[in-house]
Amino acid sequence: MLTRRSLVLLAALPLFGAEDPNEIVKRFIEAEKKNWEQASQYTYVEHVDFFDFDKNGQPKKDRSETHEVVFVEGATYKKLIARNERPLEAKEQSKEEKKLQRIAEERRKQRRSGLFHKVVSLGSSDDLLTLFDNRLVRDEEIRGHKAWVIASKPKEGYAAANAHEKEVVSFQRELWINQADYQLLRSEYTVVGQHINFTPGTTFTWDFEKVNDDAWLRISGVIDGHLQFAKFIKPTVRTEYRNSKFQKFDVQSTITMEPVK
């Protein structure tokens, strides 16, 4: 027989489905904003593999590029350092250096004119609370972390107010949120709308891990689907990303370079 004390203890136990998905999302947004300060101070090396598809629809690696992601005038910049696992030849390396110098000068001019600002992200997680219906679909363990998996779908019947919202609601999302600290472990975006250059069904998947016991950073990703240039031009694409060699750097520092000659 269950005693009153037993009933109280049972009521206190966390039950799957009892968590409020919007509350989880709110805490995730708070944790993400706190993480940004640390994450935005890391440089790293990004390796990208590009794939074509054969007549049987199987992916075949076409080429690769390696970039050094650094800070130039306080904002990130991708500097090409290798193609197909080989360092750039002297001529192309010189071209990349001149390009870097040009970008630095352009950013300095923007900063002096007051137009320059640092882009925090390509989208806002705050939109999850206003443009999406959020649902807790399952618990899942990922790379040793226990996660809540939140499915976020555009609100049914919602009329986008501007071009930004049209792009945002062109995706539905699944977020793997760490139960320990509400940080993002994985995100998967699936195209469901018509307002971007990818066909519905295309997926963008990103994985995150804590680096140096300091910041949660993107460690890998995959884009899988179809580009859409015109009504009948829809090439299949697959691009794989791997990030490594993370190094902390003062984001406020300025790289000074000679003007382009």
Q: Structure tokens of 116?
A: 């320059």
The whole-number pLDDT of residue 109 equals 80
Q: Tell me the torsion sign for CA atoms 2, 6, 7, 13.
A: negative
Query: How far is it between the farthest Cα atoms of the chain?
Result: 87
Q: Has residue 156 got a pLDDT over 50? A: yes
Contact 191/225 with Cβ under 8 angstroms?
yes
Q: Provide φ and ψ at 24, rounded to 5°.
A: -60, -45
> Is 257 a residue whose pLDDT tops 50?
no
- The pLDDT of residue 106 is 87
Q: How far apart are CA 205 and CA 184, in angstroms?
A: 12
Rounded Cα distance between 155 and 222, Å, is 26
- How does residue 261 score in pLDDT terms, banded at 50, 70 and 90? very low
pLDDT at 13: 39
Cα distance between residue 124 and residue 82, in whole Å: 32
pLDDT at 117: 45
Q: Please, which residues have CB within 8 angstroms of residue 105's CB and are 6 or more apart in sequence?
A: 257, 259, 260
Alpha carbon distances (Å) from 46 to 110, 148, 219, 220, 250: 27, 28, 9, 9, 19
Mean pLDDT on 181-197 = 91
CA distance 46 to 64: 11
Q: CA 156 to CA 142: how far, in whole Å? A: 30
pLDDT tens per residue across span 22-65: 999 999 999 999 999 899 899 999 999 999 988 888 899 999 99
Q: Residue type for 124, please?
A: S
Residue of higher predicted confidence among 13 and 129: 129
pLDDT, residue 95, reads: 94
Mean pLDDT of 146-173: 90
Where does residue 101 fall: left (phi above 0), alpha (psi -120 to 50 degrees), or beta otherwise? Answer: alpha
The Cα–Cα gap between 158 and 113 comes to 39
Q: Pick the residue with more confidence: 217 or 260?
A: 217
| pLDDT tens track for 207-244 | 999 999 999 999 999 999 988 776 666 788 899 999 99
Q: Whole-prediction pTM value?
A: 0.81
Do residues 25 and 128 touch, judged by C-beta distance below 8 A? yes
What is the rounded average pLDDT of the residues 190-212?
91
Helix (H) or strand (E) holding 29: helix 21-39
Q: What is the pLDDT of residues 161-187, one digit of tens each?
A: 888 888 888 899 999 999 999 999 999
pLDDT digits (tens, 9 = 90+) for 79-137: 999 999 999 999 999 999 999 899 888 888 876 665 544 433 334 688 899 999 999 99
pLDDT in tens, 202-211: 999 999 999 9
Structure confidence at residue 245 (pLDDT)? 96
- Asked whether residue 2 carries a pLDDT value surpassing 70, the answer given is no
Q: Which residues make Cβ contacts (< 8 Å) with residue 51, sequence separation at least 6?
A: 59, 60, 61, 62, 237, 238, 239, 240
What pLDDT score was predicted for residue 233? 66
